[in-house]
Every structure is written in structure tokens, then in C-alpha cells.
């Protein structure tokens, strides 16, 4: 999970260096996120079907190798067009990640432990954010941003070799009917994830640049904001996902976490006047907004139709990735004009929309008498 999104966390954490070295604008920096997650959103329904048919082990090994290739190409990028093509390639690992890992958990983990294991698994994404925001950003200060990205690519290759040697063999391929559109609970979770993704992606992409250009932080300190968000996201995903397995809690958790995410984005707005609030806001975004995605994955696994965990996970992920594709370009227009405060208010509105969708779904489920 960490490697599936490592490229985009690196682009966010190393954004100030890329802007200076490659001469890209803040809007183009946001476009890298759009391209990466746009590719992931388009490929996700197909990726889920592939996982259901050929098995998670093969897909996880492929995920790691393609991640390594995308990172290596990003590190070699001479300009904007090459960079965007490499980022698009990185959309494939993202499309495979949740279907393959969720299907592995359903096959190997007892039902009573799936919530906590899913939270730990989802925290791998934030481990990637931490690695990009602290050790790799610090390494970039010594060997340059390209060297840091190539180091991440080499680590992905090593992990692929480990996965090939240690993961259990896949079961024989099975045919499962294809479904390309979300329905029922999966549709509600996809809509929630779309709005949630818009806000999270904007924070991931522009937090470091905001720290440098508006708060006056150094490049390493600004990247550390991303690392703080990552650590908080790990704790939030593990804790809230464990709680989502308890009766009576899962139904209302997504809307509650969205409320916390709105408060976090308002703290970012206020940080332009009280700079220490940026650190508090980074923690809050991780604890609430980032954790909400893990809770949605727990709900997918609880509600997935038999034999369709891969496809249902992929459809919800497609909504999340579409949000990641849409959010940063909108924020980028505001960032290019220096209107970061308005940008954080836009993020607050996106989180509020996600909360409204989650609340409407919870009320609908309760009226239908569905067990929380």
C-alpha cells in the first residue's frame, strides 16, 4: 500500500524542488496528481476484475514492479510531458492496491479481526507519506530529488522480490460476472470517497508548498508537515478501523470523521495568521480525513457481495481516485493566484459534502433496518 501511492506523496513533499528544477508551475504540480489518479480511477474497475480472476499474489507483485518503473521514470524526467507520462503509469499500482489487499484479508483473516487488520493495511499509504515527507525529503537535500526518487524505486524492487518469495500461491482463476457501475451501499461509499478524495489530495499536494510560500518554512520543514500528516494518518486509520468493527459504530463513523476533517481544513485557513496551527491541522487531517478512507474500506469488506470483494473495492477506490484527480487542479488555480486561504475553504466544503453523503447513507440504512 505504501508503494502504490509513493510517487504522488513524493511529488507533494518534493514539490518545491521540482517547481524550481523543472520549471513547472503550481498548477502543473497539481496536474501530476490529476493524471496519476485519473489513470487510477479509469483503471480501477478493470483492476478489481483482474484481481478477482487471477488472484492477489500475482497482482501485488505486478503492483510493486510497476511502481518501481514509474518511480524510476519520474526520477529521469527531463520535463513536464515525460513527468506526466511516468505519473500516468503509476496509476496502475493504485488501481490494483485496494482490491488485491482487501481480497487477501478476506481470504486469510478471521472476520472479527478484519477491521483492525484493514486499518493497519490502509495505514501503509500513510507510511508512504511519512517516508516521502521525512527520510526521502531529507535524502533529497543530500543527493537531490532525483536520487531520492530512485532510492524509492530500488526499495520497490526489493519489496517485489520479497513478495514473490513469501506470499502464498493464488487459488485457481475463477470467473466472476463483471460489474462496471457501483450499486447500493457501494455507490454511496463511492460518492463519499469522491468528495473525500478531492479534499485529501489538495492537502497532500499543496501542504508543503503552502508551508514554503505562505508560512515561510524551509523546504525540509515544509516536507515534514507531510510526514506529520502521514504519522497521524497511520494512527487514525488503525484506531478508527478497529472501532468500525464494533456493533453500532460503523454506520455513523464516516459522517463523524468528515466533521473532524472540516475542522482540520478550517485550522489550515487560520494558520496563515497563527502559523503553529498548520502543524495541528496536519495532525487533524491525518486523524480524521485520511482515516475516513480506511473506514470506508472496512465497510466495503463488510458489505461486498460474495466473490466480488475485488470489484467492489475497486469501484469505491475509483471514486476516491477520481476525487484525487479533480481536487488539486481546482486548488492549483487558487494557489497560483496566492489564494491559499480560499483554497482551504474549498477543501472544507468538499469534506462537508462528503459528510452530508455519509449522513444521508447512514439514515437510509437505519430506516431500512440494516445492522450498523
DSSP state of 247: T
Q: CA-CA distance, 52 to 2, in Å (whole number)?
A: 22
User: pTM for the complete prediction?
Assistant: 0.81
- Residue 81 has which C-alpha cell? 510531458
- What pLDDT is attached to residue 82? 92
Alpha carbons 145 and 141: distance in angstroms, whole number: 7
pLDDT digit string (tens) for 356-370?
Answer: 999 999 998 888 765
As a whole number of angstroms, the distance between CA 233 and CA 236 comes to: 5
Average pLDDT over residues 2-23: 84
* pLDDT reported for residue 92: 93
Beta-carbon count within 10 A of 120 CB: 17
| CA 288/CA 281 separation, integer angstroms | 10
* Most confident by average pLDDT, 73-82, 177-186, 263-272, 323-332: 263-272
Query: Given phi > 0 = left and psi -120 to 50 = alpha, else beta, which region is 145?
Result: alpha
State the cell numbers at 158.
526489493
Quote the mean pLDDT of the chain: 88
Farthest-apart Cα atoms in the chain, separation: 59
* Percentage with pLDDT > 90 across the chain: 42
**Cα separation of 278 and 259, whole Å?**
18
| Whether the Cβ atoms of residue 129 and residue 229 lie closer than 8 Å to each other | yes
SS3 372: coil
Task: Check residue 177 and give its pLDDT.
Answer: 62
User: Is the pLDDT assigned to residue 268 strictly greater than 90?
Assistant: yes
For residue 40, give the nearest of 169, 201, 156, 160 by alpha carbon.
201
Give the distance, in angstroms, between the CA of residue 91 and the centroid of all CA atoms in the same chain: 12
pLDDT digits (tens, 9 = 90+) for 298-316: 888 888 776 677 888 888 9
CA distance 191 to 203: 19
Q: Which three cell numbers stand for residue 83?
A: 513527468
Phi, psi of 218, rounded to the nearest 5 degrees: -70, 165
Which tops the pLDDT comparison, 129 or 322? Answer: 322
| pLDDT at position 198 | 94
Which residues fall within 8 angstroms of residue 351, CB to CB, at 6 or more apart?
Answer: 195, 196, 199, 258, 261, 262, 264, 265, 289
Amino acid at each position: 500500500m505504501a508503494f502504490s501511492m509513493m510517487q504522488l506523496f513524493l511529488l507533494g513533499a518534493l514539490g518545491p524542488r521540482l517547481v524550481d528544477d523543472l520549471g513547472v508551475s503550481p498548477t502543473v504540480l497539481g496536474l501530476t496528481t490529476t493524471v496519476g489518479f485519473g489513470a487510477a480511477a479509469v483503471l480501477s474497475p478493470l483492476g478489481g476484475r483482474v484481481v478477482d480472476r487471477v488472484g492477489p499474489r500475482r497482482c501485488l507483485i505486478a503492483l510493486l514492479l510497476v511502481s518501481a518503473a514509474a518511480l524510476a521514470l519520474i526520477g529521469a524526467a527531463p520535463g513536464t510531458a515525460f513527468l506526466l507520462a511516468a505519473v500516468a503509469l503509476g496509476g496502475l499500482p493504485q488501481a490494483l492496491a485496494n482490491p488485491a489487499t482487501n481480497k487477501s484479508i478476506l481470504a486469510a483473516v478471521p472476520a472479527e479481526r478484519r477491521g483492525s487488520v484493514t486499518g493497519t493495511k490502509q495505514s501503509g499509504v500513510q507510511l508512504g507519506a511519512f517516508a516521502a515527507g521525512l527520510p526521502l525529503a531529507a535524502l533529497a537535500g543530500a543527493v537531490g530529488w532525483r536520487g531520492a526518487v530512485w532510492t524509492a524505486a530500488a526499495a520497490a524492487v526489493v519489496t517485489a522480490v520479497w513478495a514473490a518469495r513469501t506470499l502464498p500461491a493464488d487459488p485457481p482463476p475463477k470467473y466472476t460476472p463483471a460489474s462496471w457501475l457501483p450499486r447500493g451501499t457501494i455507490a454511496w461509499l463511492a460518492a463519499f470517497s469522491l468528495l473525500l478524495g478531492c479534499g485529501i489530495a489538495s492537502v497532500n499536494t499543496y501542504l508543503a508548498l503552502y508551508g514554503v510560500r505562505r508560512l515561510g518554512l524551509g523546504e525540509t520543514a515544509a516536507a515534514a508537515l507531510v510526514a506529520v500528516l502521514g504519522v497521524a494518518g497511520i494512527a487514525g486509520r488503525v484506531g478508527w478501523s478497529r472501532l468500525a468493527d464494533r456493533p453500532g459504530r460503523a454506520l455513523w463513523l464516516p459522517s463523524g470523521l468528515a466533521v473532524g476533517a472540516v475542522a482540520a481544513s478550517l485550522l489550515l485557513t487560520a494558520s496563515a495568521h497563527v502559523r503553529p496551527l498548520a502543524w495541528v491541522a496536519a495532525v487533524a487531517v491525518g486523524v480524521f480525513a485520511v482515516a475516513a478512507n480506511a473506514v470506508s474500506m472496512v465497510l466495503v469488506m463488510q458489505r461486498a457481495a460474495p466473490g466480488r470483494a475485488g470489484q467492489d473495492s475497486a469501484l469505491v477506490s475509483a471514486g476516491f481516485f477520481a476525487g484525487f484527480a479533480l481536487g488539486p487542479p481546482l486548488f492549483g488555480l487558487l494557489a497560483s493566484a496566492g489564494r491559499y486561504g480560499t483554497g482551504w475553504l474549498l477543501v472544507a466544503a468538499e469534506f462537508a459534502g462528503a459528510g452530508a453523503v455519509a449522513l444521508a447513507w447512514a439514515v437510509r440504512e437505519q430506516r431500512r433496518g440494516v445492522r450498523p
